[in-house]
């Protein structure tokens, strides 16, 4: 409280000489309206695995988020405020996550947490963030835990949850492979469980085997040979990228050639390709094993280089001057950062933490961005994107097999999306109206 | 290498030996204040002395928690649970000479017990929950201890390693009860009104959930260390040292080696159980990924770097465990590295520091200081004798 008062006084003293940095356009002066917000900055925090087993791929997400915030800052920021993005390593260990999120909230005094990655890791901090009334936006996980308005009013999901992904995959397989014997290859947590529950709504009669792996155990021979023995000729994988690589190599060794269908999480060709090369010690050198594999998409990725969003991300990435190539993980981070900018704009010129939450609830379902479908945000729901499409990987690119499909949890129908996906605004920065 | 190391233990490095590991466990061998003949203002009675230290530490802890911000309060909770477990482990390894790579798993027993007991409509009082967690972990410790008593060195390490790898898997297997991979969230017990009152009158700071948990953790730490310190200074502690240093002599004196080893393991497991219970409160989640072998190894690192067999060493080692990576990371970031580089570098530098401590202070931080003090005292005594 004392800090806020001091900052307000400073704002009052320095208010005469600046017009607010250009981007704002509101008639009011900028104020330090809450913790983590000053006259000219907004501080946001995040946690990711930057080291350890979960780091490959996921550690690139924050560089994407940062690149887009840099781009926005260079163009005047949000309401004249520069976004400061502080992210730290939790090595995918919940004990570390709670420690660094404590630090982000209590010492760095961030305005909000965004994009926290991982189900077990983020699960350790939702209780703390909600009890401290810190907005916890756009969790990087498709678990359904984040859509719980009663218990977690400050927490919001972002990507489509694993259950609706399972439903869309299930319906596609039931319609296009009605005679297939389906095997499920699942990660032994809610990722695999929710995905399987969705798929079973359409495939109950076709499923011949369900095999689960424990993350960390790198031997999947028992699971893959059980699928082979059950005669499954189409395998649905709800698994992370390293297990896509492991399952491909194991199947190759066992001479097992079903049609593979990996959920979005496990299908990034670039990462799986590099993992394949590493696990096979060079025997398999690229992602060619993945040619013809089916998967799903909910934001445009590198497989569509002509998509205007991907071109925007390319430009943002080059301007950021960071090392490395643009990857789908960086695109994921930029897409989240884009949504975050929309949320901050909707929250108004001098938002409080509660204003930010209200903004997502009231305006979130109207935002147009890189995602193919609208968000499901409302005062009763904190669930992210409402759908995706099915595609087939082909070399560097992919081929869309369905129109964009939208649905919801439970027995909601799967429907085609009304209307076209949005294209990015000219300057690459959203312009949302404040809610109040 | 320390010049104090005896030729016997130097030549037998790496080989099985019944010689006393003089240097490595130097920290545990310091006699109590009056025995060294030094001047001391502390009472001669061990229990009284420990009680006095306990009160002083409690006052110090309150001053520390009230003069620092909430962010630091939160970090103190992490130091506390590492230190409780490390205290138990240092007793086992430093005093009794047994190694355990399975203390992370024992912490999981305490943590999951606490999570399950708190996850009901009307939870039992926190003290009762903690006691049940400690009791249950002690039972597991007794079972492991019976097996461990027959094993030595690498075999014991292997057996406890299996515990560390295997036990968290139970949470995945019984995922209906134990929450599987995403774990069980732990509801924070309500903070009583008297606590809010006391904090307000004491320092004027607003009481919060974070502060309440910090005080619970510190209270658990102090009580544990008080009990462990008494145990270490008692007949029991002397017996453990005898078992560690000279098996044959100990057995000739009528000590049942196996039974005393089991007792050491049970006491150590009880501390790990309480540490797990505190971890559950501090982290607000118990998940298998939190109790991996890395946790067990961190505890071992803490006691070795602090000084085997010393509670103060275990506390210092635990504080380093929490604060050192953070300091290194912040230093890296201030050198303009990005967060990923800073995180990677911090692990490397952390490792280098550990290696340096082992090379130049093989008795650990506390052990080395004690050795230096003893050496100085001996030199002075020798000087007096000559003069």
B33: pLDDT confidence band, cut at 50, 70 and 90?
very low
Yes or no, beta carbons of B339 and A89 under 8 Å apart: yes
Of B47, A410, A317, B156, residue with least CA distance to A309: A317
- Count of positions (residues) in chain B: 387
Yes or no, beta carbons of A127 and B182 under 8 Å apart: no
pLDDT of B23 = 65
A83: pLDDT confidence band, cut at 50, 70 and 90?
very high
In three-state secondary structure terms, A183 is strand
pLDDT of A6 = 41
- Count of positions (residues) in chain A: 436
Question: What digits encode the pLDDT tens for the residues B44-101?
Answer: 788 888 889 899 999 999 889 888 888 888 899 999 999 999 999 999 998 888 888 9
B248 lies in some domain = yes
Share of chain A above pLDDT 90, in %: 67
CATH number at residue B141: 1.10.3470
Residues of chain B found within 8 Å of residue A330, distances taken between Cβ atoms:
none
Give the CA dihedral B201, B207, B211, B215, nearest 10 degrees: 40
Nearest to B74 among A87, A91, A106 (CB): A106
pLDDT of B39 = 53
pLDDT of A139 = 95
Choose from A95, A320, A324, A327 for mutation: most chain B CBs within 10 A.
A95
Indicate whether A262 pLDDT > 80. Answer: yes
Tokens of A233: 């000729």
B8: pLDDT confidence band, cut at 50, 70 and 90?
very low
Q: What is the pLDDT of chain A when averaged over all its residues?
A: 88
B27: pLDDT confidence band, cut at 50, 70 and 90?
low
pLDDT of A27 = 57
Give ∠ CA B276-B278-B287 in degrees, rounded to 5. Answer: 50
What average pLDDT does this structure show over B159-166?
A: 88
Yes or no, beta carbons of A51 and B347 under 8 Å apart: yes
In three-state secondary structure terms, A391 is strand
Å from B279 to nearest chain A CA?
Answer: 8
B355 lies in some domain = no
Q: What is the pLDDT of chain B when averaged over all its residues?
A: 84
Strand partners, A397: A394
B219 lies in some domain = yes
Yes or no, beta carbons of B182 and A92 under 8 Å apart: no
Distance in angstroms (rounded) separating the CA atoms of residues A333 and A114: 10
Nearest to B285 among A94, A187, A188 (CB): A94
pLDDT of B358 = 84
CA distances (Å), origin A28, targets A6, A34, A80, A350, B43: 19, 16, 12, 9, 68
Indicate whether A16 pLDDT > 80. Answer: no
Indicate whether A4 pLDDT > 50. Answer: no
Q: Please, what are the domains in chain A?
A: 2-8+29-160+304-385 (3.40.50.2300), 162-297 (3.40.50.2300)
Å from B182 to nearest chain A CA?
Answer: 4
What average pLDDT does this structure show over B197-226?
A: 88
Q: How many CA atoms lie within 13 A of A346 on its CB side?
A: 22
Higher pLDDT, A40 or B32: A40
Complex ipTM value: 0.78
pLDDT of B29 = 63
Q: How many domains does chain B have?
A: 1
Which chain A residue lies closest to B81 (C-alpha atoms)? A95
Question: What digits encode the pLDDT tens for the residues A263-276?
Answer: 999 888 888 888 88
Q: How many CA atoms lie within 13 A of B63 on its CB side?
A: 6
How big is chain B by its Cα radius of gyration, in Å? Answer: 22
Share of chain B above pLDDT 90, in %: 29
Indicate whether B18 pLDDT > 50. Answer: no
pLDDT of B70 = 85
Which chain A residue lies closest to B179 (C-alpha atoms)? A189
Of the ranges A42-46, A416-420, B329-333, which is most confident? A42-46
Yes or no, beta carbons of A98 and B284 under 8 Å apart: yes
Residues of chain B found within 8 Å of residue A94, distances taken between Cβ atoms:
183, 283, 285, 287, 289-290
Yes or no, beta carbons of B175 and A188 under 8 Å apart: yes
Indicate whether B382 pLDDT > 80. Answer: yes
Tokens of A95: 């004990």
Yes or no, beta carbons of A94 and B210 under 8 Å apart: no
Question: What digits encode the pLDDT tens for the residues B106-162?
Answer: 999 999 999 999 988 888 889 999 999 999 999 999 998 888 788 877 888 888 888
Q: How far is CA A210 from the centre of its chain?
A: 27
pLDDT of A188 = 82
Distance in angstroms (rounded) separating the CA atoms of residues B214 and B282: 8
Domain assignment of residue B281, given as a range: 44-291
Which chain A residue lies closest to B287 (C-alpha atoms)? A120
Question: What digits encode the pLDDT tens for the residues A168-181?
Answer: 999 999 999 999 99
Yes or no, beta carbons of B329 and A215 under 8 Å apart: no
Distance in angstroms (rounded) separating the CA atoms of residues A251 and A221: 8
> Counting Cβ atoms within 10 Å, is residue A134 exposed (0-12), middle (13-18) or buried (19+)?
buried
Residues of chain A found within 8 Å of residue B326, distances taken between Cβ atoms:
103
pLDDT of A330 = 94
Å from A101 to nearest chain B CA?
Answer: 10
Kindly report which listed range (B116-125, B274-283, B284-293, B340-349) carries the lowest average pLDDT score.
Answer: B340-349
What average pLDDT does this structure show over A15-35?
A: 58
In three-state secondary structure terms, A44 is strand
Yes or no, beta carbons of A188 and B290 under 8 Å apart: no
Choose from A67, A124, A194, A323 for mutation: most chain B CBs within 10 A.
A124
Yes or no, beta carbons of A103 and B339 under 8 Å apart: no
C-beta of residue A310 within 8 angstroms of C-beta of residue A331: yes
A321: pLDDT confidence band, cut at 50, 70 and 90?
confident
> Counting Cβ atoms within 10 Å, is residue B241 exposed (0-12), middle (13-18) or buried (19+)?
buried
Å from A87 to nearest chain B CA?
Answer: 7
Distance in angstroms (rounded) separating the CA atoms of residues A11 and B152: 68
Indicate whether B215 pLDDT > 60. Answer: yes
Residues of chain B found within 8 Å of residue A188, distances taken between Cβ atoms:
172, 175, 180-181
What's phi and psi for B11, nearest 5 deg?
-70, -25
Kindly report which listed range (A5-19, A293-307, A391-405, B17-31) carries the lowest average pLDDT score.
Answer: A5-19
How big is chain A by its Cα radius of gyration, in Å? Answer: 22
Q: Are strands A234-238 and A182-187 parallel, antiparallel or unpaired?
A: parallel
pLDDT of A366 = 92
Distance in angstroms (rounded) separating the CA atoms of residues B149 and B260: 9
Indicate whether B16 pLDDT > 90. Answer: no
B24: pLDDT confidence band, cut at 50, 70 and 90?
low
Inter-chain contacts counted by CB atoms under 8 A, chains A and B: 116
Q: How far is CA A291 from the centre of its chain?
A: 24
């Amino acid at each position: 409280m004392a800090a806020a008062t001091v900052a307000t006084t400073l704002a009052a003293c320095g208010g005469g000489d600046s017009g607010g940095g250009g981007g704002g356009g509101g008639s009011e002066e900028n104020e330090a309206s809450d913790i983590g917000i000053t006259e000219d900055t907004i501080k946001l925090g995040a946690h990711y695995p930057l080291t350890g087993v979960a780091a490959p791929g996921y550690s690139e997400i924050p560089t994407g988020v940062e690149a887009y915030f840099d781009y926005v800052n260079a163009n005047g920021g949000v309401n004249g405020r520069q976004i400061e993005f502080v992210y730290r390593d939790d090595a995918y260990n919940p004990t570390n996550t709670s420690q660094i999120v404590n630090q982000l909230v209590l010492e760095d005094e961030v305005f909000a947490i965004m994009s926290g990655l991982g189900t077990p890791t983020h699960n350790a901090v939702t209780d703390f963030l909600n009890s401290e009334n810190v907005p916890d936006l756009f969790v990087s996980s498709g678990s359904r835990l984040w859509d719980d308005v009663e218990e977690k009013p400050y927490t919001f999901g972002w990507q489509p949850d694993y259950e609706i992904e399972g439903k869309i995959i299930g319906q596609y397989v039931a319609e296009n492979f009605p005679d297939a014997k389906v095997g499920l290859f699942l990660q032994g947590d809610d990722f695999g469980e929710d995905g399987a529950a969705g798929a079973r709504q359409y495939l109950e009669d076709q499923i011949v085997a369900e095999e689960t792996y424990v993350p960390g155990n790198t031997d999947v021979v028992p699971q893959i040979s059980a699928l082979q023995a059950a005669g499954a000729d189409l395998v649905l994988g709800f698994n992370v990228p390293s297990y896509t690589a492991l399952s491909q190599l194991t199947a190759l060794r066992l001479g097992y050639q079903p049609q593979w269908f990996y959920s979005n999480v496990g299908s990034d060709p670039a990462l799986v390709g590099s993992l394949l090369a590493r696990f096979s010690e060079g025997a398999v050198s690229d992602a060619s094993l993945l040619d013809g594999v089916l998967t799903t998409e909910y934001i445009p990725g590198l497989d569509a280089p002509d998509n205007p969003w991907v071109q925007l991300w390319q430009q943002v990435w080059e301007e950021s001057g960071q090392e490395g190539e643009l990857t789908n993980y960086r695109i994921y981070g930029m897409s989240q950062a884009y949504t975050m900018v929309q949320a901050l704009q909707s929250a108004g010129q001098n938002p409080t933490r509660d204003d930010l939450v209200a903004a997502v609830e009231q305006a979130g379902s109207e935002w147009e961005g890189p995602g193919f479908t609208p968000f499901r945000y409302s005062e009763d729901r904190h669930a992210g994107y409402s759908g995706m499409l099915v595609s087939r990987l082909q070399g560097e690119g992919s081929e869309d097999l369905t129109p964009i499909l939208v649905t919801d949890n439970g027995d909601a129908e799967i429907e085609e999306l009304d209307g076209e996906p949005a294209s990015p605004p000219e300057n690459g920065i959203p312009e949302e109206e404040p809610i109040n | 290498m320390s010049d104090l190391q005896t030729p016997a233990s130097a030549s037998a490095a790496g080989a099985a030996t019944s010689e006393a590991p003089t240097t490595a466990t130097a920290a545990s061998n310091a006699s109590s204040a009056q025995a060294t003949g030094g001047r001391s203002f502390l009472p001669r009675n061990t229990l009284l002395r420990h009680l006095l230290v306990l009160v002083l530490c409690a006052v110090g802890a309150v001053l520390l928690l009230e003069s620092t911000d909430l962010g630091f309060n939160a970090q103190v909770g992490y130091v506390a649970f590492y230190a409780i477990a490390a205290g138990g482990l240092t007793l086992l390894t430093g005093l009794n000479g047994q190694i355990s790579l399975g203390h992370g798993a024992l912490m999981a027993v305490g943590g999951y017990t606490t999570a399950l007991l708190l996850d009901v409509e009307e939870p039992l009082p926190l003290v009762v929950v903690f006691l049940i967690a400690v009791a249950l972990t002690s039972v597991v410790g007794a079972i492991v201890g019976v097996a461990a008593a027959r094993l030595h060195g690498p075999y014991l390490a292997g057996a406890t390693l299996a515990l560390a790898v295997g036990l968290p898997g139970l949470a995945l297997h019984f995922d209906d009860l134990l929450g599987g991979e995403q774990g069980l969230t732990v509801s924070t017990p309500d903070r009583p009104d008297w606590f809010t009152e006391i904090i307000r009158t004491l320092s004027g700071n607003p009481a919060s959930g974070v502060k309440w948990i910090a005080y619970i953790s510190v209270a658990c730490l102090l009580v544990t260390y008080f009990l462990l310190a008494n145990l270490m200074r008692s007949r029991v502690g002397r017996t453990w040292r005898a078992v560690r240093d000279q098996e044959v002599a100990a057995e000739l004196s009528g000590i049942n080696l196996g039974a005393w080893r089991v007792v050491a393991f049970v006491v150590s497991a009880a501390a790990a159980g309480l540490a797990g219970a505190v971890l559950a409160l501090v982290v607000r989640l118990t998940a298998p990924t939190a109790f991996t072998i890395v946790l067990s190894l961190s505890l071992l690192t803490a006691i070795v770097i602090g000084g085997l067999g010393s509670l103060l060493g275990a506390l210092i080692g635990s504080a380093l465990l929490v604060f050192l990576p953070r300091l290194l990371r912040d230093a890296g970031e201030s050198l303009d590295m990005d967060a990923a580089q800073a995180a990677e570098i911090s692990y490397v530098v952390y490792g280098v520091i550990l290696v340096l401590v082992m090379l130049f202070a093989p008795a650990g931080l506390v052990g080395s200081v004690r050795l230096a003090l003893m050496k100085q005292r001996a030199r002075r005594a020798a000087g007096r004798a000559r003069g």
